[in-house]
Amino acid sequence: MAAMNAAAGPGEGSKPEPHLDGSDDPYLWLEEVTDPTALAWVRERNEETFARFTTGARFRELRDAARDVLDSDERIPYVRRRGDYLYNFWQDAEHPRGLWRRTTLESYRTDQPEWEVLIDIDALASADGESWVWKGATMLRPSYARALVHLSRGGSDATVIREFDLTTRTFVEDGFNLPEAKTYVSWIDIDHLYVGTDLGPGSLTASGYPRIAKRWRRGTPVSEAETVFEGKPDDVSVYAVHDPTEGYERDFVRRAIDFFTGELYLRVGDELRRIGVPLDASAGVHREWLIVRTRTPWTVNGVTYPGGALLAARFDDFLAGDVDLTVLFEPDPRTSLSYYAWTRNHLILNTLTDVKSRLEVLTPPGDGAGPDWTRARMPDMPEIGHADIVSTDPDHSDEVFVNSSGFTEPATLRYGHVGRPLQVLKRAPAFFDASGLRVRQFFATSDDGTRVPYFVVGPEVNNAGPTLLTGYGGFELSLTPSYSGVIGRAWLERGGTYVVANIRGGGEYGPTWHQAAMREHRLRAYEDFAAVARDLVRQGITTPKRLGIQGGSNGGLLMGVMLTRYPELFGAVVAQVPLLDMKRYHRLLAGASWMAEYGDPDDENDWAFLREYSPYHNVRPGRPYPPVLFITSTRDDRVHPGHARKMVAKLRDLGYDVAYYENIEGGHGSAADNEQLAFKNALAMEFLWRRLTD
């Protein structure tokens, strides 16, 4: 484990808090999510926070500015191709819960597309007397005549599923309907589904996800559905899917052993044939091709392929034992694969070089394309900013929608077909004045000498002004340049500087960057973030008193560690839906699924390194903690609100400056509609402006 800077730690002679398993935790009662006493405590904290931060003119300006951006009719309505239609989910002031709607490509090309509304979520919520939040739809291929609509009460991950007829635009009476659960469904045909859901005791894993995959026939009880596969109780999840691609119809079962390892099976009749890729590799099949993405080195037939590589083989040949792999992508110290997407005849790679994106088109051999894979850079892409594949049509065409944006460049949506010039289809407006702002990338040096990239968006000249620093550093997720009208109006336009740190634990440099901060190496992510904070001060961009930090989920854990280990580096902290109690996280909601990332607190060896940084266990009296705001949601069934509740109670009892807001709705996003999202953003910004400037 990397050495900790003694000046930033809890102090010599400190002893760990006694409550290790929760049995003598005086705040354990706050883990009872809907207990009346706990909710009364929540309401008291909310009222205190409202009184302190939401009554002034600036808060109202921040809230209204955020709402204006979030509800703007000038936003790009992003779409996904499903058969003959382009589908979109849209929220605005008149439809806060949203509209699920569709249009044609011809209409979408116009400035004012004609939308066919399929489901008005606000009207449905009113009719049902439920606080519905849209969670997407699973559509029947290739006809796209039916959909399984996922609706959440208040924004939780658990959803109610209802079958919807896209021809009549009505819900199917006595159709495939399932009660609230963390359910996985996949269409087989009009009368059959693969399903994993809560079927009673023993049907879920310790993480709360389906343990059993079943084949369900229309008109029969789901409890009587045929069992296809059973995982183990300690697995993360199990699911089955059907691929209806004409000429390549196949069925697959995926067993997720932990967050990063699993087994993939081909289902032939009642038999399962394991696809022989490494447990920690991800594999996907498109038509005749198997694509494998490695996380660690893989040696096959005397050849070693590095972690982070993308490999291809003909699927049938691979199953027959002919492991003839073609390298489609191989990482280098500066470049990693972000993701890939198929069109009908091409594979598009999105790669990152020092966290800057590049799109490349690969064409497989066959169909007159030659004996080998060919590659070419996707044309018409901007040299600055970040580009993303929004939608493709892998069943029928080489159509592609590509979105590009940057910290100060509003989004541009391009459309076309691979091999032809792309055309600009939509442009988002500029929601803030970016004149006088510049974007720079720097590299801080972490404690072990690693160069850590970060982006700075701010004034042309360093002014040691108020600065907002954010980061994530977990689960191989990357933070890339993107345009935010809310950040622009609430922070940049008001004279603040915005910084994004690409610390280890993320995916900016591929799996090795992630693995460098997993489990016993976790402190490296926190050392990286602290190094960026120090570098901002060294360069004169800000000062510790004017440096605020904000992060959510795993980024909320990052904020908690910064608060308790590096308090002297910051002037204010905002932690949203955070993990904080690393002794009990695996016992709360989906926490068990993250043990591959963090470790098992019940294992003494793992707890030895977890207790080093667990924020809840490292709170000490008499430390120079900066003011901190915690934001979470009662309906978050992924990261338990007890983390934030208990941390706030502990800090309050020690006399620290701590504020708390818990939204009753919102799930892991802590907001169920744009009004709630605008309020949450305004609260965080008002807190930061007060603490860093007033």
- At 66-95, the pLDDT tens digits run 999 999 999 999 999 999 999 999 999 999
Which of the residue ranges 4-13, 265-274, 514-523, 547-556 would you say has the lowest mean pLDDT? 4-13
Asked whether residue 636 is assigned to any structural domain, the reply reads: yes
Q: What's the pLDDT band for 672 if we cut at 50, 70, 90?
A: confident
What phi and psi values does residue 7 have, to the nearest 5 degrees? -70, -20
Query: Do 499 and 364 belong together in one domain?
Result: no
Asked whether residue 455 is assigned to any structural domain, the reply reads: yes
Structure tokens, 250: 């196949």
Asked whether residue 444 is assigned to any structural domain, the reply reads: yes
Asked whether residue 604 is assigned to any structural domain, the reply reads: yes
**Per-residue pLDDT for 632 more than 70?**
yes
**Per-residue pLDDT for 382 more than 60?**
yes
What phi and psi values does residue 316 have, to the nearest 5 degrees? -65, -40
Type of residue found at 555: G
pLDDT by residue (tens digit) across 423-471? 999 999 999 999 999 999 999 999 999 999 999 999 988 999 999 999 9
Query: Do 685 and 600 belong together in one domain?
Result: yes
**Per-residue pLDDT for 474 more than 70?**
yes
Can you tell me the mean pLDDT for 295-317?
A: 97
Other beta carbons less than 10 A from residue 330's beta carbon: 14
Type of residue found at 489: R
Residue 272: strand pairing partners: 267
Q: What is the mean pLDDT of the chain?
A: 94
Query: Do 534 and 417 belong together in one domain?
Result: no
The half-sphere exposure of 40 on its side-chain side, counting CA atoms within 13 A, is 4
**Are the C-beta atoms of residues 536 and 510 closer than 8 Å to each other?**
no
628-633 vs 572-576, strand pairing mode:
parallel
Can you tell me the mean pLDDT for 528-535?
A: 98
- In the block, tokens 């689960």 appear at 475
| CA 204 from centre of chain | 23
Q: Which candidate, 597, 587, 607, places its Cα nearest to that of 258?
A: 597
pLDDT by residue (tens digit) across 2-47? 332 222 222 223 333 334 455 589 999 999 999 999 999 999 999 9
SS3 content of the chain, % helix, strand, coil (to 5): 25, 35, 45
CA distance 339 to 552: 23
**Per-residue pLDDT for 385 more than 80?**
no
Can you tell me the mean pLDDT for 174-193?
A: 97
Structure tokens, 656: 């620290």
Asked whether residue 589 is assigned to any structural domain, the reply reads: yes
Domain count, the chain: 2
The model's pTM is 0.94
Asked whether residue 667 is assigned to any structural domain, the reply reads: yes
Q: Is 201 strand, coil or helix?
A: coil
Which helix H or strand E contains 66, and what residues bound it?
Answer: helix 57-71
Query: Do 417 and 458 belong together in one domain?
Result: no
**Are the C-beta atoms of residues 155 and 180 closer than 8 Å to each other?**
no
| CA 386 from centre of chain | 17
CA distance 466 to 694: 11
Strands in 237-243's sheet, in edge-to-edge order, are 237-243, 250-256, 262-268, 271-274
Q: Which candidate, 547, 476, 543, 464, places its Cα nearest to that of 505?
A: 476
Can you tell me the mean pLDDT for 471-491?
A: 97
Query: Do 413 and 463 belong together in one domain?
Result: no
Query: Do 423 and 492 belong together in one domain?
Result: no
The predicted structure's pLDDT at residue 4? 27
Q: Which candidate, 647, 625, 583, 598, places its Cα nearest to that of 18?
A: 583
What totals of helices (H) and strands (E) does the chain contain, helices first?
13, 39
Tell me the three-class secondary structure of 260-297, residue by residue: CCEEEEEEECCEEEECCCCCCCEEEEECCEEEEECCCC
Query: Do 456 and 417 belong together in one domain?
Result: no
Asked whether residue 355 is assigned to any structural domain, the reply reads: yes
Structure tokens, 481: 């340049």
Catalytic residues: 553, 668
Which helix H or strand E contains 314, and what residues bound it?
Answer: strand 310-314
Can you tell me the mean pLDDT for 583-598?
A: 96
Q: What CATH number is given to the structural domain containing 564? A: 3.40.50.1820
Structure tokens, 163: 């079958």
What phi and psi values does residue 220 have, to the nearest 5 degrees? -120, 155
Query: Do 586 and 549 belong together in one domain?
Result: yes
Can you tell me the mean pLDDT for 106-129?
A: 97
Query: Do 514 and 369 belong together in one domain?
Result: no
Q: Which candidate, 283, 291, 233, 227, places its Cα nearest to that of 258?
A: 233
Concatenate the DSSP letters of all residues of 93-112 into one string: SS-SS-EEEEE-HHHHTSSS
**Are the C-beta atoms of residues 248 and 258 closer than 8 Å to each other?**
no
Query: Do 365 and 378 belong together in one domain?
Result: yes
The predicted structure's pLDDT at residue 16? 34
CA distance 650 to 17: 12
Which helix H or strand E contains 606, and what residues bound it?
Answer: helix 604-613
Could you list the residue range(s) of the whole structural domain that residue 669 is in?
Answer: 34-67+433-693
Query: Do 554 and 503 belong together in one domain?
Result: yes
Which of the residue ranges 20-34, 204-218, 368-382, 450-464 would you say has the lowest mean pLDDT? 368-382
CA distance 644 to 142: 45
Residue burial 289-325, b: 16+ Cβ < 10 Å; e: rest: bbbbbbbbebebeeeebbbbbbbbbbbeebbeeeeeb
| CA 320 from centre of chain | 37
Q: Which candidate, 238, 264, 144, places its Cα nearest to that of 183?
A: 238
Can you tell me the mean pLDDT for 343-357?
A: 96
Query: Do 406 and 551 belong together in one domain?
Result: no
Burial class (CB in 10 A: 0-12, 13-18, 19+), 84: exposed
**Are the C-beta atoms of residues 335 and 352 closer than 8 Å to each other?**
yes
Type of residue found at 9: G
The predicted structure's pLDDT at residue 384? 60
Can you tell me the mean pLDDT for 297-318?
A: 96
Please give the biggest Cα pair distance in the chain: 73
**Are the C-beta atoms of residues 502 and 300 closer than 8 Å to each other?**
no
Asked whether residue 597 is assigned to any structural domain, the reply reads: yes
pLDDT by residue (tens digit) across 229-241? 999 999 999 999 9
